[in-house]
């Protein structure tokens, strides 16, 4: 269930947050745009704020960091209050690390000196500096200057610079949006390592479903400065009543465990819906992964076919059918209690007499699954 509270009209009505929560209640107006939200977020893992351009994602991060002087409400991280009706800590006293779309490194300094700049300001430990140099594979580039680095390398330096300052909260404002697909794929494993090893909460702004699926533990959907849903990431991603379900790339996300792989890179994935086969980076048996099944990649059949190239054929029951623009139908499926989505044509629905309660077979190409 989403953990979204109605925004309190007056800060004096705010209750003290439990020590393991982050409490946000913010009001801010810029011209005709206003940000007004109330959230309790987990004080661990990655919370992703997802929404279209202009919905207030970056404004939210700036307000948390103390860079929006007009912001009012509450910012409370565990037992530390940064903003309420009595306190408004300036930005330099809020222990946040920030990483933006562009790395914003100091161009006249080497990578090593860029890192030492943030480290010295925080009076950090030598061991911590070396730790993040090692974990983000920065040693080969320490003597280089930012202009000689690729976009992905610059962002790795920016991430390390933020982390060596020993922040209590790491805020990331679409850090991959300026990178091409290859560079994004290169840096996502580093973000996953930070998620596992930094020991601090991350608040990650994105408009990429791929990044949400890979990184999010908790998901907040924002639109026009308001929260429209919030909760555990898979719960929100798989809700059929939210805008994500109506996008062209709508789908469902399943938790899976790698149960095997072959010499050609085909993974066997154990899921609650059944065994799935997919291609992806090699991972050890027993590794936990997420697999994304896009609705447009799911076809339906009345019988299970053996004479087909499709490797994934699951028994499912039709839960509901909903019309979409362009002569399509969105079909909600139940696969052993696990939700799936399919998109088919009106003609296919009529030809196969598809209806709620009908037992059918969902067919998915292995090469279409996203791991």
Summarize pLDDT for 232-259 with one digit per residue, the tens: 999 999 988 888 877 888 999 999 999 9
Q: What is the pLDDT of residue 5?
A: 38
Q: For residue 134, what are its two tokens?
A: 């090692």
Fold (CATH) for 251-368: OB fold (Dihydrolipoamide Acetyltransferase, E2P) (2.40.50)
Domain assignments of the chain as residue spans, ordered by start? 251-368
Q: Give dist(CA 220, CA 33) in Å, integer.
A: 19
* Torsional class of 137: left (φ above 0), alpha (ψ -120 to 50), beta (otherwise): left
Q: What torsion, rounded to 10 degrees, do the Cα atoms 194, 187, 272, 264 define?
A: -130
Q: Give dist(CA 73, CA 59) in Å, integer.
A: 14
- Average pLDDT over the chain reads 90
Whether the per-residue pLDDT at 124 is higher than 80: the answer is no
Cβ contacts of residue 295 below 8 Å, gap of 6+? 250, 251, 252, 330, 341, 342, 343
The pLDDT tens digits for 286-336 are 999 999 999 999 999 999 988 999 999 999 999 999 998 888 999 999 999
Q: What is the pLDDT of residue 201?
A: 96
Identify the residue with better confidence: 142 or 185: 142
Give the confidence band of 113 by pLDDT, cuts at 50, 70, 90. Answer: very high
The pLDDT tens digits for 63-93 are 999 999 999 999 999 889 999 999 999 999 9
Q: Give dist(CA 303, CA 337) in Å, integer.
A: 20
Whether the per-residue pLDDT at 38 is higher than 50: the answer is yes
Give the mean model confidence (pLDDT) for residues 215-230.
95
Q: Give dist(CA 255, CA 270) in Å, integer.
A: 9
DSSP H helical ranges for the chain: 57-65, 111-121, 126-135, 151-164, 181-197, 209-215, 233-237, 346-352
Q: What is the pLDDT of residue 50?
A: 94
Q: Which of 54-68, 93-107, 110-124 has the lowest mean pLDDT?
A: 110-124
Q: Give dist(CA 296, CA 329) in Å, integer.
A: 11
């Amino acid at each position: 269930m989403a953990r979204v509270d109605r925004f309190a009209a007056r800060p004096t009505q705010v209750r003290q947050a439990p020590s393991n929560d982050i409490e946000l209640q913010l009001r801010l107006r810029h011209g005709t745009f206003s940000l007004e939200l109330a959230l309790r977020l987990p004080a661990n893992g990655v919370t992703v704020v997802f929404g279209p351009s202009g919905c207030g994602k970056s404004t939210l991060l700036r307000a948390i960091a103390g860079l929006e002087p007009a912001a009012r409400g509450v910012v409370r991280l565990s037992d530390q209050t940064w903003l309420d009706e009595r306190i408004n800590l300036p930005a330099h006293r809020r222990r946040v690390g920030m990483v933006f779309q562009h790395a914003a490194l100091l161009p006249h300094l080497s990578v090593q000196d860029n890192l030492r700049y943030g480290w010295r300001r925080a009076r950090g430990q030598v061991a911590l500096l070396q730790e993040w140099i090692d974990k983000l594979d920065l040693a080969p580039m320490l003597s280089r200057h930012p202009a000689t680095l690729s976009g992905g390398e610059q962002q790795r330096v920016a991430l390390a610079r933020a982390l060596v300052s020993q922040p209590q909260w790491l805020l990331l404002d679409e850090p991959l949006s300026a990178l091409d697909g290859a560079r994004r794929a290169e840096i996502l494993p580093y973000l996953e390592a930070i998620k596992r090893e930094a020991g601090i909460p991350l608040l990650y702004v994105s408009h990429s479903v791929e990044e949400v699926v890979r990184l999010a533990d908790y998901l907040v959907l924002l639109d026009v400065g308001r929260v429209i849903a919030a909760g555990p990431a898979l719960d929100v991603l798989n809700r059929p009543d939210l805008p994500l379900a109506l996008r062209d790339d709508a789908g469902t996300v399943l938790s899976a465990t790698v149960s095997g792989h072959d010499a050609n890179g085909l993974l066997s994935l154990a899921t609650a819906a059944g065994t799935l086969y997919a291609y992806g980076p090699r991972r050890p048996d027993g590794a936990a992964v997420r697999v994304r099944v896009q609705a447009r990649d799911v076809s339906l059949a009345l019988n299970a076919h053996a004479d087909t190239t499709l490797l994934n054929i699951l028994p499912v029951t039709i839960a509901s059918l909903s019309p979409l623009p362009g002569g399509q139908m969105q079909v909600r499926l139940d696969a052993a209690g696990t939700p799936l989505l399919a998109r088919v044509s009106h003609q296919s629905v009529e030809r196969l007499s598809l209806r709620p309660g009908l037992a059918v077979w969902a067919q998915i190409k292995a090469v279409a699954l996203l791991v």
